[in-house]
Amino acid sequence: MTKREAVTTASTPPPSQMLVDERRQHILSLIHTHGKVLVGELSRTLNISQITIRKDLDQLQAQGLIRRSHGGALRLQSGALIDPTLQEKQKQHSPEKERIAAAAAKMVQEGQCIMLDSGTTTTAVAHALRQFKHLTVITNAMNIATVLADTDFEVILIGGTLRKNSFSLVGPLAEDMLEEMHADTLFLGVDGFDLEIGLSTPNLLESRVNRAMVKASGRVIAVCDSSKFNHRSLSRIVPLSSVHCVITDKGLPDTFAAELSTQNIEVILV
């Protein structure tokens, strides 16, 4: 299958003209890239008072996105075994997930068969797909099946053992069912996206089901916010060579986007 190569983004406004959400996203991107930020340096760089910067950092910490320290803030230390619940994930990066979902829906055509794995970003995609009239949706996520239950879609919920953390069905039964299926497009949410090892998730059983989904799909589109990049979880799903497109937010470092493009992976920034 031919993969397209493109990077779609809009120009970043000067710091002094940034809206509050834009400024906080910019600060969050700096923390993800460098591991920490200092209030004084941000104040000088953005030409904004230290009081405002402290309020921004306090708000980002309240959202569970960073850890405040004396004089600045630090990137959260996410271990390979950390496996937050679906409810915990729903509180993080909600605006980004909504934009990612809207962009994902634009890549779908009426009458197609779409596969969705479990997760909050793919749940947002499921909501965005409700604008269509006729789709077949295959998923291992019980909550996504519920989101689409009142549509005219054909919704196929694969069997398996329930993972309460993610409301997903995993295990040999789920993998066996996926061997009998084929979808036009898979929208895959991940916990880790690393240039060397590829896509990963904290749960071994989940990774096996995700891998079976990739094999059963003609096109693989990773949907994840920029906090998932440069992070490795316990279980590898697939290498980058299995991915055709990535939809993420503008917090993705330019170097990362450029590297993905050199590997012939389409990058859509929202």
Per-residue CA distances from 96 to 60, 127, 203, 223 (Å): 14, 14, 24, 10
pLDDT at 15 over 70: no
Structural domain containing residue 35: 15-75
Last residue of a domain, which of 75, 96, 117?
A: 75
Indicate if 54 and 132 belong to the same structural domain.
no
Does 257 lie in the same domain as 221? yes
Mean confidence (pLDDT) of the chain: 86
- Residue 51 sits in a domain of what CATH number? 1.10.10.10
| pLDDT value of residue 176 | 96
Residues forming beta bridges with residue 162, ordered by sequence position: 169
Q: In this structure, is residue 4 part of a structural domain?
A: no
| pLDDT score recorded for residue 91 | 53
Residues 156 and 232 in one domain: yes
Question: Domain check: are 46 and 19 in the same one?
Answer: yes
Give the SS3 label for residue 18.
coil
What is residue 7's three-state secondary structure?
strand
> Are residues 69 and 97 both part of a single domain?
no
Residue 112: the pLDDT is 98
Give CA–CA dist 195/104, Å, rounded: 22
pLDDT attached to residue 87: 52
Last residue of a domain, one of 52, 75, 98: 75
100 with 232, same domain?
Answer: yes
Tell whether the model's pLDDT for residue 7 goes beyond 80. no
Is 117 among the domain residues? yes
**Which two tokens mark 16?**
């002094």
pLDDT of residue 233: 83
| CA dist list (Å): 235 to 166, 203, 205, 230 | 16, 6, 9, 15
50 in the same domain as 107: no
Q: What is the dihedral of CA 244, 247, 253, 257, to 10 degrees?
A: 30
Tell me, yes or no, whether 1 lies in a domain: no
What is the reported pLDDT for 76?
66
Mean pLDDT of 147-155: 97
Q: What is the DSSP letter of 13?
A: P
Burial level of 264, CB count in 10 A (0-12/13-18/19+)? middle
Query: pLDDT-based confidence at 86, cuts 50/70/90?
Result: low
Q: In the prediction, which pLDDT does 78 show?
A: 53
Asked whether residue 181 falls in the same domain as residue 128, the answer is: yes
CATH, residue 240: 3.40.50.1360
Residues 204 and 153 in one domain: yes
| Cα dihedral sign, 122-123-127-132 | positive
pLDDT single digits (tens) 164-196: 878 899 999 999 999 999 999 999 999 899 999
For residue 161, tell me if it sits in a domain: yes
Q: Is residue 123 part of a domain?
A: yes
In the prediction, which pLDDT does 90 show?
Answer: 56
Provide the pLDDT for residue 19: 80
Domain endpoint, select from 54, 75, 96? 75
The distance from CA 90 to its chain's CA centroid, rounded to whole angstroms, is 12
Q: 31, 37 in Cβ contact below 8 A?
A: yes
Clarify whether residues 70 and 109 are in a common domain: no
For 170, the token pair is 């995993």
Q: How far is the C-alpha of 6 from the C-alpha of 93, rounded, in Å?
A: 24
The count of domains in the chain is: 2
Please report, for the chain, how many H helices and E strands are present, in that order: 10, 16
CA 117/CA 123 separation, integer angstroms: 9
